[in-house]
Structure 1
């Protein structure tokens, strides 16, 4: 059976994480982050109506200046795809799906925002720890085996995690030792 190299083991760990429900939670957290960014951005702009007005004004400004060279236009709008949140003495970036107008990239949460951000950051940290634990568990099992055969004996369900090229036994071409000895000059005596 083919040997499990470090690279193959890393691929197995990566596939195991990607197939797990924990990874789907990570994707859901990313979507939740985008929604949180948008809520904070709208809050900073003063509500939905003011945010819509700012976007309308920006759109009109860009339309009226479309023929000017872009390097000569200094947009009066601050656009960013991240807002820096200061919470419990630490700073965290909340990323948006796209760059949007913001009043300020800095946000100091108070009241309900503290709870929302605290819950989000707690969920992110819990997900990160769950992924690390899963990676450690899979890698611990992989350390105890050297070949795909040993892995499949210890963990039969891992077959779908093993890359196809690791399953194929590579045969070394047969070399005639007489020709090799002649080419090297062996025996030397």
Structure 2
């Protein structure tokens, strides 16, 4: 068991655990939550406080449409909905995703469609602009730390072939092993000289002192 080879899968799991231990996942989650809250504030401002009225109107339209034969209805929303809002952010074109995504092609969280206009403008003196660019700085910092941890932990793992050797070189890595990894090998025996010193051996050494 102690001679278990460190496979690529195990190394990837160890790196993933290292990223969790370093708090990368928590930082990503906090950033996503901040983006979600920011996008919602932007959306509500763009709607102009009319969401409740829009929802009521949508229900009325749907009720009227339901009276038509199925062949005459289309599967479209009566009011515009989308996963994001396109912004003119102080002269820059950006998209604010309601699920907190940084970009459209991120697929770790499903998109959430909400009532929203297609476009909205935020002027340069609006605090929302500074807040938005703060997200970019946080994103870069998290990505940089993630890459550093991945590279350095990966380099440490590539120096050894087995779990036993890894724990000899880096005992603290025991916390990063996958849950189904073999138990850590026993600590190596102390040197004879160290044991003798700990136990006061040989006895005649004390007598002659």
Same fold (TM over 0.5): yes
- Is 1:109 aligned with 2:122? yes
The normalised TM-score by structure 2 is 0.67
Aligned partner of 2:38 in structure 1 is: 36
The separation in 2 between residues aligned to 1:63 and 1:18, in whole angstroms, is: 49
Equivalences for 1:82-101 in 2 at 5 Å?
A: 82-85=84-87, 92-97=94-99, 98-101=112-115
CA drift at 1:73: 4.3
- Is 1:151 aligned with 2:166? yes
Equivalences for 1:4-43 in 2 at 5 Å?
A: 4-43=6-45
Partners of 1:34 and 1:96 within 8 A in 2: yes
Q: How many residues align?
A: 166
Partners of 1:41 and 1:102 within 8 A in 2: yes
Partners of 2:88 and 2:122 within 8 A in 1: yes
SS across alignment from 2:113: strand
Partners of 2:6 and 2:162 within 8 A in 1: yes
Q: Residue 119 and residue 164 in structure 1: after superposition, are their counterparts in 2 closer, same or farther (change >3 A)?
A: closer
Q: 1:135 aligns with which of 140, 150, 155?
A: 150
Q: 2:140 aligns with which of 125, 150, 154?
A: 125
Q: Residue 65 and residue 23 in structure 1: after superposition, are their counterparts in 2 closer, same or farther (change >3 A)?
A: same
CA drift at 1:85: 4.2
For residues 19-39 of structure 1, give each alpha carbon's deviation from its aligned partner in whole angstroms, at most 9, with x where no partner exists: 332210111111111111111
Partners of 1:78 and 1:101 within 8 A in 2: yes
The separation in 2 between residues aligned to 1:162 and 1:88, in whole angstroms, is: 48
59-68 or 124-133: bigger deviation: 59-68
Pairwise CA RMSD of aligned residues? 2.8
State the structure with more CA Rg.
Answer: 2
34-43 or 15-24: bigger deviation: 15-24
CA drift at 1:88: 8.5
For residues 48-87 of structure 1, give each alpha carbon's deviation from its aligned partner in whole angstroms, at most 9, with x where no partner exists: x323222332244335545664962433311112234455
Structure 1 unaligned spans of 5+: 169-189
Q: Residue 9 and residue 67 in structure 1: after superposition, are their counterparts in 2 closer, same or farther (change >3 A)?
A: farther
The separation in 2 between residues aligned to 1:8 and 1:143, in whole angstroms, is: 12
Structure 2 unaligned spans of 5+: 100-111, 184-209
84-93 or 136-145: bigger deviation: 84-93
Aligned partner of 2:77 in structure 1 is: 75
Structure having the higher helix fraction is 1
